[in-house]
Amino acid sequence: MKIAVIGIGYVGLVTSGCFAESGFNVVSMDINEEKINMLKDGQVPFYEPGLSEIVKRNYINGRLEFTTDCKYAVENSTIIFIAVDTPSNKEGNADISQVLSVANSIGEYINDYKIIVTKSTVPVGTGNKIKEILREVLSKRGENYNFDVVSNPEFLREGSSVHDFMNPERVIVGADNIDENDNIKKIFKELYNKNNCSFVFTNIETSEIIKYACNSFLAVKVAFINEIANLSEAIGVNVKDVAKGMGLDSRIGGKYLNAGPGYGGNCLPKDTKALVHIGNEYGVDMSIIKTVIKSNNLQKNRIAKKIEMVLDGVCGKTIALLGLSFKADTDDLRESVALVIINKLINKGAFVKVFDPVAINSAKKCLIKQENLYFANDEYDAIADADAIVIATEWKQFSEIDFIAAKKQLKRSIIFDLKNLLDKTKLLNIGYEYHGIGI
């Protein structure tokens, strides 16, 4: 059984590499010729722990191919995964134009029975639109090949996506007449032949909404604990203890209860907006999700104001901001809170020195027009002569900084720990003024 994956972004490349690592033959296709050439040369276009080694190994072994030829990918595969991007449009809904374009191309090149699978996060009803396009294109061709359209949403966390793919907690599969379609069930159990993996077989629409429901619920947890952190700070209690007490309740669980500056990345911001839009289409007011989006935006603004207030204004001040990606173990800058804070501080007259162990080069591209900004060579270069340190991403190496030595390089010994990464007591004992989130 040969697999094609169309779209070599984050989801597409992880899917391609991990299926190949599992023993399948995979054709990975993208229209971006530069990206394809990079991959053939052994270069992965983004940072994800463990992925580069998997891609290189399976490309060399011949289980993983890269091509810009959609016809070749479709004709030489049984299962075709659509993994192109679905960014938010101006209205907040997911832009599925790339998905529909791929569906049209698949229809042009189908040469026998195919299973077309959406890995991209798509609104309810997209599977039906794909079927309509395929039927229309095949009709124009005068062909009548059979096909199945399946929804198989991904649940990969950036920074641990290889592990997540190879060790899934659950696999969601949505297809027509799924109770009667043993072929689909058998194929997906073969694809995800993992121990202790739960399968949910359902219809396409249910599968499509599950992805949005999951990500939006995680956003609710993040926004909730951040509001509790703000309250804890005002009262004078430690939000870490509050979160621990909550997380020990099996009905709640301890994951996504780490207070911080707000959620970022590609998934949570995009999918919460899309779910609100889906609700509007069906006449349902998604009031909780709307409030979460508002709360998250307020949290980002609150952090910037807190820095300004503690420093008695930031105009003319030098700030060392450590961490640019939206979370550790990735170079993804999409919806990064760090970028929001940088822009707000510079707009208030601060000079900001930034460093990130992985995302620094990507940041240079998106912040190239920003003045009063210095890209440091390492964390100590950023800290030198600064009025304050801001820890914006929870990279492990930031917890290992020699803060005694760093203190000698600072103008003022102030730390804003936006991820509660550091030991507050230790820093206070060596003379720092420490500001965490809710502690």
Three-class SS of the chain: CEEEEECCCHHHHHHHHHHHHCCCEEEEECCCHHHHHHHHCCCCCCCCCCHHHHHHHHHHCCCEEEECCHHHHHHCCCEEEECCCCCECCCCCECCHHHHHHHHHHHHHCCCCEEEEECCCCCCCHHHHHHHHHHHHHHHHCCCCCEEEEECCCCCCCCCHHHHHHCCCEEEEEECCCCCCHHHHHHHHHHCCCCCCEEEEECHHHHHHHHHHHHHHHHHHHHHHHHHHHHHHHHCCCHHHHHHHHHCCCCCCCCCCCCCCCCCCCHHHHHHHHHHHHHHHCCCCCHHHHHHHHHHHHHHHHHHHHHHHHCCCCCCCEEEEECCCCCCCCCCCCCCHHHHHHHHHHHCCCEEEEECCCCHHHHHHHCCCCCCEEECCCHHHHHCCCCEEEECCCCHHHHCCCHHHHHHHCCCCEEEECCCCCCHHHHHHCCCEEECCCC
User: Which listed residue (70, 267, 315, 366) is catalytic?
Assistant: 267
Amino acid letter, residue 46: F
75 burial via Cβ count (<10 Å: 0-12, 13-18, 19+): middle
Separation CA 384–CA 409 (nearest Å): 5
Tokens 């699978």 found at: 117
Question: Can you read off the two tokens belonging to residue 44?
Answer: 């992965």
Separation CA 307–CA 347 (nearest Å): 13
Q: Catalytic site residue 267?
A: yes
If you compute the radius of gyration of the chain from its CA atoms, what whole number of angstroms results? 24
**CB–CB of 383/402 below 8 Å?**
no
Which active-site residues does the annotation give?
267
